[in-house]
Amino acid sequence: MAQRPARRMVRSLLCFAWVMTALAPVALNFEWRQAFEVAAFWFAMCLGAAPRSVWTRGVAWATLVLAQIPAGFETARVAGGIAGLGAVPWRLYAFSVAGLAAMGLVRYAYRRPLTWLLYNGLAQIGLVAVSLTHPALGAALELSCLGTMLALFAFARREGATARLSAASDWRRAAGVGAGVMLCGAVCAVIAPKAPLLPGVARMVMSVVPRTPARTGYSLDDSHLGGSLVTDPQPILEVRAPLPLDLRGQVLSDYTGQGWMSVPLDGSDVAAAAVGQALPSGLPFAHLPYRAIDVLVSVKGAVNTTDLLAPYAVDRVLRLPGLYGNEFAIDTVQGNIKVAPLGPGESYEVQVDVPVNPYARLASLRAPFNAVRRDIPESIRAVDTQLPAELPASVRQLAARTVAQAHAATEYGMVNAIIQYLVAHETYDVSDVPAPQPGQDYVAQFLLDTHRGYCDNFASAAAVMLRTLGVPARFVTGFAVSAQNQVAPHTYVVSEADAHAWIEVFFPEYGWIPFDPTPGFSMTFAPVAAPMRSPHAKLPPASEWHLEHRASSPTFRRGTLAACVALGAAVAAAFALGALGRSRRRRSRSAQQGEIEAFLRAVEEARTALGLPPSATLRHLRPLADGAGASDAFGPWLRAAEAKLYGFAPDAPGAPSWDHLAAFLRQWLEARSRAR
């Protein structure tokens, strides 16, 4: 009898391990805090099975159940504030009850081979679904489930005759477990909040349905965003232009909490336009220098061109097949150009007006936003500052706090502060991005919970945060085109993998100006002539610099060949003249150290110019770029400098050199001194 508590403990822990594994597909749909809290509760219930006395076990279990109440409410408070108290605890309780019921059924079934195999078969279905999106995790869970199943089989054989129960006992135990589940379910159904609980239950049921990540690509349906992506390199467009230009497709102004939709349009919101004539709505921006460029776009694959894909911003359509009466429609509220779908082999030509570094002009504005917001037209305020009533207050508070901490008073300063916050605090990721839970706000999930995502997440978060401050902003989808897309002089091939999203912000007097808040990306509005790599060129995150090796320019390939030849010569010389080789390596290290010291001297000069103490970090140098009119270049420069300083792929192909980084600082210092 002395061993009964130990056997009971082992059996309970094995049941706990099996239930943890089998219910993993459901747990993956919970926030990690909630899943951890429920797992700790199950584990504590297993430990409560050790006491020999039935009364002692009952008191321990009752105490644990009561402890669930404050724990559940605390988890709800942390996850979503006071507004989240209505649903989160009940989802926790429902999941906890489900696990306890599962442990009861496992204790009943593990000594009955057919029933036990049926349970494990059902569990394997859910784990296979996990393997479709998380292969390593799914395989580990499947092996864990099988191992626990065999361990419980062995435990049942060891119990032998003492574990045999009568048929009546079997029925009583099964009936007791079933009655407990039905009773707990009825209580939850009666007293729990009805609307918030149902989506959670539906999500538990749907979690066993296999789901695969969406593929990157342009889509007209952005009403439900979220989830991981799989890169699709299928070429779909060929663009002929003198320089790489992002392709603007669809602009959406209605944020629903789950994604973006077009605002409802009536007849007065749609205008007719003719080929060869200036668009009746005019350019979305004004009072800014720009370049007029003719662009030819050829369709290479299946792409939805119901909204014409063209660089920002189309002045007139020069050629477009498939029109009736040589006319097409324009959405005058959001600026979308409506055309008939085009198929492979067809092409169209547009004349676009591309702004020339508009950010320098906007950065020079000194009027506070509160003083100019009255100049925003009422029609724009009504549409482009709209937010759902269910948006969590914590998102509004975060936006206000971000702008206040940056001391941003102008509209451009507010936009810049929001973008820099996203770059500094959120992680760019496409492969492990969970979809929001039913009823959960898409932007709130990204900013307050997961903190990782891709362009849809960053663009949506930037637009929503700006709207909470009264700044009109809207969501834009299209394609990011850079020098890496170039296949021939003035020819760029665009694939589904280049699908991208950014935002447009309305400035009184200047109109709608695009901004790209996604780390490693920026708009292609660069100065016409630059002595070095454009400050607005796309610098991928440090974790993705290896991608540039695949699409590097011929200059880089020649550099790589020269490096290989030099390496071979160094190896040959090492065999013959070891001492000379060591001397050369020392000189090389000295040269690199000299470059680093030159960069650090430039940083010190920048600190001195700004009156900063020696302890100031690179992030404190932002006012230097702002004063030089290069605010949008500071983010890529900062990421590249920090990557080299802290060892994140410092010598990756395409990464800027120490001299290159120092040259930016010197340019900004000179521009700042001239401005004075």
The answer to whether residues 316 and 277 touch, using CB atoms and an 8 Å cutoff, is yes
Strand order in the sheet with 314-319: 314-319, 347-355, 290-299, 235-240, 491-495, 486-488
Residue 502 pLDDT > 50: yes
Express as a percent the part of the chain with pLDDT over 70.
Answer: 66
So what's the pLDDT on residue 79?
A: 43
* Per-range mean pLDDT, top range of 181-195, 217-231, 292-306, 370-384: 370-384
The answer to whether residues 232 and 216 touch, using CB atoms and an 8 Å cutoff, is yes
Q: What distance in Å separates the CA atoms of residue 99 and residue 92, rounded to the nearest whole number?
A: 11
Q: What distance in Å separates the CA atoms of residue 178 and residue 643, rounded to the nearest whole number?
A: 58
In sequence order, what are the residues at sequence separation of 6 or more whose Cβ sits closer than 8 angstroms to the Cβ of residue 487?
493
Q: What distance in Å separates the CA atoms of residue 623 and residue 610, rounded to the nearest whole number?
A: 8
Q: Per residue, what are the HEC states of 15-52?
A: HHHHHHHHCHHHHCCCCHHHHHHHHHHHHHHHHCCCCC
Residue 186 pLDDT > 70: no
C-alpha distances (whole Å) from 247 to each of 312, 476, 502 are: 7, 10, 11
The answer to whether residues 352 and 313 touch, using CB atoms and an 8 Å cutoff, is yes
Residue 64 pLDDT > 70: no
User: How would you class 46 by CB atoms within 10 Å of its CB: exposed for 0-12, middle for 13-18, buried for 19 or more?
Assistant: buried
Identify the band that residue 556 occupies on the pLDDT scale cut at 50, 70 and 90: very low
Identify the band that residue 375 occupies on the pLDDT scale cut at 50, 70 and 90: very high
Residue-wise pLDDT tens digits, 74-90: 555 544 443 334 445 56
Identify the band that residue 172 occupies on the pLDDT scale cut at 50, 70 and 90: low
Q: Can you tell me whether residue 340 is helix, strand or coil?
A: coil
Q: What are phi and psi of 593, to 5 degrees?
A: -60, -35
Which of 188-197, 320-329, 374-383, 615-624 comes out lowest in average pLDDT? 188-197
Which of 301-310, 315-324, 355-364, 437-446 comes out lowest in average pLDDT? 301-310
Q: What distance in Å separates the CA atoms of residue 19 and residue 6, rounded to the nearest whole number?
A: 20
Residue 568 pLDDT > 70: no
Taking residues 336-340, report their average pLDDT. Answer: 88
Q: What distance in Å separates the CA atoms of residue 38 and residue 33, rounded to the nearest whole number?
A: 9
The count of other CB atoms within 10 Å of the CB of residue 120 is 21
- Between 188 and 592, the more confident residue is 592
Residue-wise pLDDT tens digits, 524-548: 874 433 223 333 333 333 333 322 3
Identify the band that residue 482 occupies on the pLDDT scale cut at 50, 70 and 90: confident
Token pair, residue 443, equals 């932007």
The answer to whether residues 288 and 353 touch, using CB atoms and an 8 Å cutoff, is no
Q: Can you tell me whether residue 549 is helix, strand or coil?
A: helix
As a whole number, the mean pLDDT across the chain is 75
Taking residues 461-483, report their average pLDDT. Answer: 95
* pTM of structure: 0.53
Q: Whats the size of the chain, residue-wise?
A: 676
The count of other CB atoms within 10 Å of the CB of residue 593 is 11
Q: Can you tell me whether residue 252 is helix, strand or coil?
A: strand
Residue 65 pLDDT > 90: no
Among 639, 635, 670, smallest CA distance to 656 is for 639
So what's the pLDDT on residue 133?
A: 55
Express as a percent the part of the chain with pLDDT over 90.
Answer: 31
For the chain, the straight-line distance linking the first and the last C-alpha, in angstroms and rounded, comes to 90
Q: What distance in Å separates the CA atoms of residue 596 and residue 658, rounded to the nearest whole number?
A: 6
The answer to whether residues 492 and 238 touch, using CB atoms and an 8 Å cutoff, is yes
- Between 287 and 153, the more confident residue is 287
- Between 602 and 505, the more confident residue is 505
The count of other CB atoms within 10 Å of the CB of residue 675 is 10
User: How would you class 11 by CB atoms within 10 Å of its CB: exposed for 0-12, middle for 13-18, buried for 19 or more?
Assistant: buried
So what's the pLDDT on residue 68?
A: 64
Q: What distance in Å separates the CA atoms of residue 209 and residue 24, rounded to the nearest whole number?
A: 13
So what's the pLDDT on residue 27?
A: 65
Q: Please state the domain extents for the chain.
A: 4-206, 236-538, 547-675
Strand order in the sheet with 336-338: 270-274, 327-331, 336-338
So what's the pLDDT on residue 180?
A: 57
Helix pair 4-22, 32-47: axis angle to 10 deg: 160
Torsion, CA 109, CA 114, CA 117, CA 119, rounded to 10: -50
Buried b (16+ CB within 10 A) or exposed e, 196-210: bbeebbebbeebbee
The answer to whether residues 441 and 392 touch, using CB atoms and an 8 Å cutoff, is yes
So what's the pLDDT on residue 380?
A: 94
